[in-house]
Amino acid sequence: MKNIPIELSINGQKVSATVEARTSLVDFIRDTLRLTGTHVGCEHGICGACTILLNGDPVRSCCMFAVQANACEITTVEGLAPERGQLSKIQDAFCEKHGLQCGFCTPGMLITCQALINKNPHPSESEIREAISGNLCRCTGYQQIVDAVVYATKEA
Amino acid sequence: MKAAPFNYHLAQDLAHAKELLHEFGDDVKIIAGGQSLVPMMAMRLAKPANLIDIARLPELQNIQITEDKVTIGAGVKQSALEKHLASQKAPLLQAVIPWIGHQQTRNRGTVGGSLAHADPSAELPLIALILKASIHCESKQDGSRKISAEDFFQGPMWTSLQANECLTQIDWPLWSGAFIGYDFEETAIRQGDFAMASAASQIQVDHDGKVLKWNCGVGGMGGTPYQFDQLTNQFLGQKLSKEKINEFSSQAIALTDPTSDLHASSSYRKHLAKALLSRTIEKSLLMAQSNTQPNR
């Protein structure tokens, strides 16, 4: 089993590495790149905690091997904030509206909500619920997460 | 929950993929989107020694629309189809796409992959069966062949694809004329999860409301999806009443053989599927009766 060289971009930074073919993308992001903001939950595509943006689209990073992301552009939760120490609009809204308690689902929720806002700057409540339907949260009952997205996207 | 070691091969083109399939014999799997295969490998339900990645092959990304069919490359992502004109031409196909997993999985999962995986509760196999899709595949030894959806699905996660064959494209026949209606219904624990049961119907009637053409079926009710041609054919030339639909649905569901699991017993699944099937027939019929304009 030979290791495979890959090159990709994470949060705007070029990264080159050699990976074992069986390494999942989320393990590569967390263990090799040490970007531990992305969480590993179920590891079989149910919970959505590992959601990242792959070439702008939300995907589950546990359901891909790192080799399949060769030459792709990836955004993780670490890439949402404009500057170190600051929060993006959606991150700030999660704080304001108590969109998290334990925080385990939060990276996946934030990425999924950001992907929604990128495509649809003023989503309705039902569009928000549809968008986060692939992400499990066991604390909030989802209402505060929906409130956070509404808050982040309301007209100024 | 980590995949067993394997050798990864990135196919350069379709010929290369077929060459690799030929070389590795039985101990090989094709990966495209990997939305079913990667979880199965993580759970070690699948431990192929070799993976051939066809996700980026341009030959498998085409979508073509002709007079009587839509041809979709096996590697077309489900999310790409969601927005494509081709799916508007085959509205039943378009109607099921939001039900396939979640947006995060549709952004990776492919049309061909869903058929090749052949999960009996999956949406696309049911629609392929109902619309009488033809599935094209190729191998180095035997060239290309076309398999009808009916012959393609053999059992749970079991198709008539040979180990050396690569699924390349799917033809979805289009219906023409006026008075066509369709509907799809599904019940799952959470939308996007595996269907507890699903049903679909597409029907064409004449101006009097008599059945000209009618296909319907159910998913999640046995080893493969079911279609009920033998029963629907008996209704050609007739008008469908609520009583007839009810009677038809009872007869159809009696042909299925669902298993019991944590979420639903076999008898509950039958009860559910009958309700869903009746509903899809009623809704598709109502739509057909009001669609007075030819669809193309």
> A36: domain CATH number?
3.10.20.30
Whether residue A62 lies within 8 A of chain B, CB to CB, comes out as yes
- CB of A43 within 8 Å of a chain B CB? The answer is yes
Q: Give me the pLDDT at residue B86, please.
A: 83
At A155 the pLDDT is 74
| Same domain (yes/no): A118, A147 | yes
Q: Name chain B contacts of A4, Cβ cutoff 8 Å.
A: 8
Task: Check whether residue A46 and residue A66 sit in a common domain.
Answer: yes
- Chain B contact for A37, CB < 8 A? no
Asked if the model's pLDDT at residue A2 lies above 90, the reply is: no
The whole-chain average pLDDT of chain A stands at: 96
Number of structural domains found in chain A = 2
The whole-number pLDDT of residue B295 equals 67
Is residue A83 a part of any domain in this protein? no
Out of A25, A58, A78, pick the residue that ends a domain: A78
Residue A156: the pLDDT is 62
Do the chains contact at B104 and A51, CB–CB below 8 Å?
yes
- The CATH architecture that domain B180-290 belongs to is 2-Layer Sandwich (3.30)
Digit-coded pLDDT (tens) for B178-228: 999 999 999 998 877 889 999 999 999 999 999 999 999 999 999 999 999
Query: Is B104 close to A1, i.e. CB distance below 8 A?
Result: no
Q: Domain ends where: A44, A78, A112? A: A78
pLDDT tens, B224-234?
999 999 999 99
pLDDT tens sequence across B227-254:
999 999 999 999 999 999 999 999 999 9
Predicted confidence band of residue B131 (pLDDT cuts 50, 70, 90): very high
The owner of tokens 């694809």 is: B161
Which residue of B9, B103, B110, B117 is the best one to mutate when testing the A interface, meaning the one whose CB has the most A CBs within 10 A? B103
Q: Which residues of A touch B193 (CB under 8 A)?
A: 46
B7-53: CATH topology is 3.30.43
Percentage, residues of chain B above pLDDT 90: 92
User: What mean pLDDT do residues A141-156 have?
Assistant: 93
pLDDT score recorded for residue B101: 94
Q: Give the nearest partner residue to B35 out of A22, A43, A45, using CB atoms.
A: A45
Q: Assess if residue A140 is contained within a domain.
A: yes
Chain A's closest residue to B54, CA to CA, is A68
**What pLDDT, on the 0 to 100 scale, is given for residue B102?**
94
Q: Does A84 fall in a domain? A: no
Cα Rg, chain B, nearest whole Å: 19
Global confidence as pTM: 0.95
Query: Taking CB atoms and an 8 Å cut-off, how many pairs form between chains A and B?
Result: 89
Are A52 and A105 in the same domain? Answer: no
Q: Are residues A19 and A54 in the same domain?
A: yes
CA–CA distance from A23 to each of B51, B87, B174 (Å)? Answer: 13, 35, 42
Query: Nearest CB to B5: which of A1, A57, A115?
Result: A1
Q: Is B116 helix (H, G, I), strand (E, B) or coil?
A: helix
Inter-CA distances, B76 with A138, B16, B58, B82, B140, Å: 34, 19, 10, 10, 22
pLDDT at position B296 over 60: no
CB contact under 8 Å between A59 and B104, yes or no, is yes
Residue A141 in any domain: the answer is: yes
Residue ranges, CATH 3.30.390.50, chain B? 180-290
pLDDT at A98 (0 to 100): 97
Are B6 and A59 a contacting pair at CB < 8 A?
A: no
Last residue of a domain, one of A78, A98, A122: A78
| pLDDT at B5 (0 to 100) | 97
**Is any Cβ of chain A less than 8 angstroms from the Cβ of B189?**
no
Do A96 and A68 share a domain, yes or no?
Answer: no
**Average pLDDT for residues A111-138, to the nearest whole number?**
97
- Residue B267 has a pLDDT of 97
Q: Does the pLDDT of residue B56 top 80, yes or no?
A: yes
Assess if residue A110 is contained within a domain: yes
The CATH number of the structural domain formed by B58-173 is 3.30.465.10
Q: Which residue has the tokens 């017993």?
A: B265
- Region B165-169: what's the mean pLDDT? 98
Q: Are residues A101 and A148 in the same domain?
A: yes
A29 is a domain residue: yes
Residue of A43, A48, A59 lying closest to B1 (CB–CB)? A43
- Are B105 and A65 within 8 A, CB to CB? no
- In this prediction, residues B160-165 reach a mean pLDDT of 96
For chain B, give every residue range classified as CATH 3.30.43.10.
7-53
Choice among A69-83, A113-127, B79-93, B276-290 with the minimum mean pLDDT: B79-93
* pLDDT tens by residue, A42-72: 999 999 999 999 999 999 999 999 999 999 9
State how far residue A23 is from chain B, nearest Cα, in angstroms.
8
Give the pLDDT band of residue B50 (cuts 50, 70, 90).
very high
Residue A31: give the domain boundaries: 4-78
Say yes or no: A54 and A101 in one domain: no
In the predicted structure, residue A101 carries a pLDDT above the cut 80: yes
Alpha carbon of A73: minimum distance to chain B alpha carbons (Å): 14
Q: How many CB atoms lie within 10 A of CB B142?
A: 11
